[in-house]
Structure 1
Amino acid sequence: MSTLEQETQLSPFQRYLRTHFHQDDADLVQLQLEAQAAGLPAISIGPEQGKFLQLLVALTGARHVLEIGTLGGYSGAWIARALPAAGRLISLEMNPRHAAFAQGQWNRLGLGATATVISGSALATLLTLTPAAPFDMIFIDADKETYPDYLEWAIRLARPGTAIVLDNVELHGRLVDQAAQDLPHVRAMQRTMTMLASDPRLVSTVVPYVDGLAVTVVRGREG
């Protein structure tokens, strides 16, 4: 759902919060408009989640961030802007056209030295990222049927204290809709949520932003 479409569905309080705390600046507005003009799917996160990611980078002191699912580079822009001078964002994107668009936008925003897209299958790329690990923060916003695998890989590429964020865990209500439980992406998200809730390596919660934003931290050895 595009930011413009989200605006029409906001409550008065949500609109107030967006105006005062979560508003896109001119560069991010341009990124979204150019993504729309280029025909990219209007499914990026909104400014609420973007600001949350920005704050999470600052709160955790993250310097090395992995993003699974780049799309047009909007979420990556929020993350990269929050990183320190020596920070680095690696983002994985299946669609080469989307990857090229995102990298071009980051270059336009002066983030090209900080944020890099790797195009191709995320699962195949994750196999190659062990030398770059551990990551301080990992954001997952990609194909939902592969979320259980993405989460497992995120844990492998993490360290104690790494924050992992997963978008769209509510699936627009389908997660708890009994009529939707046989859908493959719903079954995959159910497995993901069970893992978040019960895996002893993790401590997790869900922030009710738009479509559910799960946040988990990798435990230390002492648990």
Structure 2
Amino acid sequence: MKDEGPVIFPNDAVSYAVYRYCKEHSVPLPEHLFKLAQFTEENLPELSEMMVSGLQAQYLIWTARSIGAKKILEIGCFCGFSALAFAEALKDVEGAKIITTDVNPKTCEIARNAFRDAGVDNIVTLIEAPAIETLQNLQNDGPFDLVFIDANKDGYPDYFKTLLDLNLIRKNGILIADNVLKRGLVADDSDNNPSSGDKDEVWRASKLREFNGLAAKDPRVETLILPVFDGLTLSRVL
């Protein structure tokens, strides 16, 4: 068995073609998601990379539907793109509930407007407060079927421990954490990695490495890390 992790596609052109092909042959996205993405890119160009990609949004919709999710918690709302994707998955689910949290007033306002314009503000609640504070107050809302973490990377270890200690994810529920490889720095922050010169990114990678270690060793979950979308950690609660 080859285990060196060879590059699958021969060059960037083919890689981008593959990405477009995957998007075109995956679960469709509603028009309001494209509008929000365009608005974010035009009005917050310096921050727009914080938004999940279109294909990742398709993955989130597919996953939420596949596990029959009814209650979803998101840590890190930004402008609401991924929460809107979850709302697309749950829009026809009776009693659906999505709770998302963030601390930036400007992006929270954009997200709330997006939820209202898409007609899903009845199932999506945005809590504008620090995530740990929010988690401490969610015992009556959980347990959740799916939790998505895409927030400040230094907070991932504490989010993980708090979610499990407070039993905020149901048995066989799924925790999805984004950006867990951080441009490859989590696995290799040596001079081999062009991003190794960014000290802030290297520090964030160290916290993500801590998080991945917790997820891999904690007996309460079964974990899989995938080298997609800058790294996804998937943990199933046992």
Out of 64, 89, 97, the residue aligned to residue 88 of structure 1 is 97
Match of 1:70 in 2: 77
Do the aligned partners of 2:222 and 2:235 also contact (CA within 8 Å) in 1? yes
Match of 2:57 in 1: 50
Amino acid at match of 2:71: H
Q: Matches of 1:10 and 1:185 in 2, distance apart?
A: 27
Match of 2:186 in 1: 175
Q: Which structure's CA Rg is the greater one?
A: 2
Q: Matches of 1:215 and 1:49 in 2, distance apart?
A: 14
Out of 150, 174, 190, the residue aligned to residue 209 of structure 2 is 190
Out of 169, 174, 183, the residue aligned to residue 163 of structure 1 is 174
Count of equivalent residues: 213
Match of 1:32 in 2: 37
Match of 2:16 in 1: 11
Amino acid at match of 1:139: F
Q: Matches of 1:214 and 1:122 in 2, distance apart?
A: 19
User: Does 49-58 or 107-116 show the bigger shift?
Assistant: 49-58
Aligned pair in 2 of structure 1 residues 217, 100: CA closer, same or farther (>3 Å)? same
The share of aligned pairs that are identical, in percent, is 27
What displacement does 1:187 show? 1.5
Do the aligned partners of 2:99 and 2:126 also contact (CA within 8 Å) in 1? yes
What displacement does 1:210 show? 2.3
Aligned pair in 2 of structure 1 residues 25, 61: CA closer, same or farther (>3 Å)? closer
Unmatched segments (≥5 aa) in structure 1: 1-6
Deviations 1:121-167 (A, max 9, x none): 11111111112111111000000011001111222311211110000
TM, length-normalised to structure 2: 0.83
Q: Matches of 1:98 and 1:208 in 2, distance apart?
A: 28
Instruction: Map residues 201-216 of structure 1 onto 2, 5 A cutoff.
Output: 201-216=220-235
What displacement does 1:20 show? 2.2
Unmatched segments (≥5 aa) in structure 2: 1-11, 191-195
Out of 59, 65, 68, the residue aligned to residue 61 of structure 1 is 68
Alignment partner of 2:215: what SS?
helix
TM, length-normalised to structure 1: 0.88
Runs of at least 4 residues off by over 4 Å: 7-10
